[in-house]
């Protein structure tokens, strides 16, 4: 008797969460938006100061050139791809 009373109280007190259809639609749209590529950080360089000029050794120059010639163009390409994917999502709306 007490068990059936407790079960009826417990089951009658449960709440059912309703979701707004627009929330579900918004969640779906957010989930298909591609992630923005991360901006590459400038490599850490060891500068020297000599005769009133700042200088880099060969290893640091190679790091800087790799950043400018490889890393930044790759980031630009990733951003173009991101823009293309985002345009496709927006045009589908």
Domain borders along the chain are: 43-93
pTM above threshold 0.85 = no
- Give the mean model confidence (pLDDT) for residues 25-43: 84
Long-range contacts of 34-43 (CB under 8 A, 24+ apart): 34/82, 34/85, 34/86, 34/89, 36/82, 37/75, 37/78, 37/79, 37/82, 39/75, 40/67, 40/71, 40/72, 40/74, 40/75, 42/67, 43/67
pLDDT in tens, 50-93: 999 999 999 999 999 999 999 999 999 999 999 998 888 777 76
More confident residue, 59 or 15: 59
More confident residue, 68 or 29: 68
């Amino acid at each position: 008797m007490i068990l059936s009373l407790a079960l009826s109280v417990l089951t009658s007190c449960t709440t059912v969460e309703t979701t707004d259809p627009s929330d579900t639609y918004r969640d779906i749209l957010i989930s298909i938006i591609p992630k923005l590529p991360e901006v590459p950080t400038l490599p850490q360089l060891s500068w020297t100061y000599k005769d009133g000029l700042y200088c880099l050794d060969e290893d640091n120059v190679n790091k800087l050139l790799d950043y400018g010639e490889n890393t930044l163009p790759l980031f630009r390409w990733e951003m173009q791809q991101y823009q293309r994917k985002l345009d496709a999502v927006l045009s589908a709306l």
